Amino acid sequence: MHIDYPVVLPTEHLRARRIGQGGCNRGDRIFHGVAVLLAGGGIALLAGIVVLLTYYSQDSIFRFGPSFLSDSTWDPVFGKFGALPYIYGTLVTSLVALVIATPVALAAALYVAEYAPPWLREPVSFLVEMLAVIPSVIYGLWGFFVLAPILRNWIEPFLQNTLGPTPLVGALFQGSILGRDLLTGGIILSIMILPTVMAISREVILAVPNTQREGMIAIGATRWETILGAVLPYARSGIIGAAMLGLARALGETMAVTMVIGNSSLKISPSLFTPGYTMASAIANQFTEADTQLYFSAIVEVALVLLLVSAVVNVVARVMVWSFSRGPAGSVRA
């Protein structure tokens, strides 16, 4: 009985045949060129935006120099502009959002990944991620008509009465209670970044190998001890990355914050009850009002500063993720 075995050509022969046909090699070169072009396009686009913003803000840059970042006076009438209140408002509201959203998102991700029964995981994930598709103006209207009155009438007086007398911490809850302030803006942002942080954290937790969990269970650990000792250390770099992505979105959010933050740049105060501005809300409110070249240039420089702040935050996030990922994240600790 004769059996015809398939002929296996050496690797050199296969490569020579492909080169002779010319199609595959040419296709690889075309795909490589397209990939390089698209990858470089993103970098070129970012550089082009920086150049464009720098060009249109050059009057303000040459006029005020570094004092633009340290001065708190914004007076279009007398042509005096300083963006420090806007930078301060942006950083404070984003930090408040991050502090509020990260624990809630992480708890939701842990519940969905570790505790929820299979029939409940998808509905809970779907409902939380639905928050990401709600337009920001809807968040702003809800914050203006619902959240701000609740904070003004109940939450902020409670915080002022209970935490106001506390040293250091009490400075965050001093002043007049208006309901449209930095705290309201931070809470709105926390709701908006919650689905982003939760979705990424859930996927990171689900990606933790089961051997990590089994190792802790084998030495008698409980469910919570397993999560604390094996799951979270293994997933910490991804969770930090999720929080930083949420922070990046909070930095640039415009419409919702504009409607609830109070839009006042009169002073910089440690109190969260102070009405303020973010850089994005300042641009949205004043861009059409810039009736002089210097005023317009100052607004564009605020946009340039916002872009640079976002870039710095992303670089810091990369460094943090890299430093945490170098540690013994995947080790199981007794």
Q: Answer with the residue of higher pLDDT: 102 or 312.
A: 102
d(CA 114, CA 121) in angstroms, rounded, equals 10
Q: Answer with the residue of higher pLDDT: 204 or 12.
A: 204
Nearest partner of 307 among 69, 46, 44, judged by Cα: 46
Question: E strands along the chain, which residues?
Answer: 74-75, 80-81
Q: Answer with the residue of higher pLDDT: 22 or 168.
A: 168
CB-CB neighbours of 304 under 10 Å: 20
Tell me the pLDDT band of 248, cut-offs 50, 70 and 90: confident
Taking only the tens place, the pLDDT of each residue in 218-232 is 888 988 999 999 999
Residue 68 CA: distances (Å) to CA of 83, 85, 243, 266: 6, 11, 30, 16
Q: What is the pLDDT averaged over residues 158-175?
A: 92
Enumerate residues 6+ apart whose C-beta is below 8 A from 220: none
Enumerate residues 6+ apart whose C-beta is below 8 A from 24: 18
- What is the pLDDT at residue 27? 83
Largest CA distance in the chain: 102
Reply yes or no on whether the pLDDT at 24 is more than 60.
Answer: no
CATH topology of domain 66-326: MetI-like fold (1.10.3720)
One-letter amino acid at 58 equals Q
- Of 21-35, 159-173, 249-263, 274-288, where does mean pLDDT reach its minimum? 21-35
- What is the pLDDT at residue 126? 87
Crossing angle of the two packed helices 23-56 and 11-21, in degrees rounded to 10: 70
Taking only the tens place, the pLDDT of each residue in 51-86 is 999 999 999 999 999 999 999 899 999 999 999 999
Q: Where are the domains of the chain?
A: 11-56, 66-326
Taking only the tens place, the pLDDT of each residue in 100-124 is 999 999 999 999 999 999 888 888 8
Per DSSP, the residues of 258-317 read: HHHSB---S---S-TTS-B--HHHHHHHHGGG--SHHHHHHHHHHHHHHHHHHHHHHHHH
